[in-house]
Amino acid sequence: MRLILLLLLPLLALSACSSAESIPPGPTVGAYWPTHNIPIEELGNASAYWNVDWEGRAAQLYEEILAVNTQYFQTHTYVHGKTDCNDMVCEIWGILKSRGIISLIAVGKLEMSQESFLDCDHAWLMVYSGEGSAAALEATSGRIYTWQDAGADPALKQYWEGFIYEEPSDLREDFEERW
């Protein structure tokens, strides 16, 4: 009787929750799910994250973020397994913020679609123009990719997937809970 009760208690607890409460949204049920990221439904019309001060000047914004990323890359070397892409994007995020440019931190797995948070092994930045066009800033190579680039090279579309964070502290909170 005691064994049956011990087996039934978790089932009763789960049945008391709605399915929305007990199963996190996303591709991998049962894996750790982040809680400090920007929910995907907020990113559909993410004008809160657009660089509206640069409206009508998307080319200049692109040149500015390219200059920041290029300069950073020239003075920082990424060595796989030795340096951390998370730290690199957090540093560039701070540089862009000091220049009045809004950027979002993205984490994911570039070799996989619909990755779970536990699958994530890379970080990059997303910068939205004043009109809402996005560019992916790759700190480890000094490159910037646009959606047009992704049209020419479908592998680059992976930069438009992943988990998005407004600030480095949000990312760190989830990563601390992950490990």
- 134 bridge partner residues: 128
Residue range of the domain that includes 68: 37-178
Q: What total of structural domains would you count in the chain?
A: 1
Q: What is the pLDDT of residues 39-50, one digit of tens each?
A: 877 876 778 899
Residue 7 placed within a domain: no
Q: What is the pLDDT of residues 100-111, one digit of tens each?
A: 999 999 999 888
- Between 104 and 177, residue with greater pLDDT: 104
Q: Report pTM.
A: 0.77
Residue 15 placed within a domain: no
Residue 167 placed within a domain: yes
Residue 131 placed within a domain: yes
Residue 16 placed within a domain: no
Residue 68 placed within a domain: yes
Residue 141 placed within a domain: yes
Q: What is the mean pLDDT of the chain?
A: 78
Confidence of residue 82 (pLDDT cuts 50, 70, 90): low
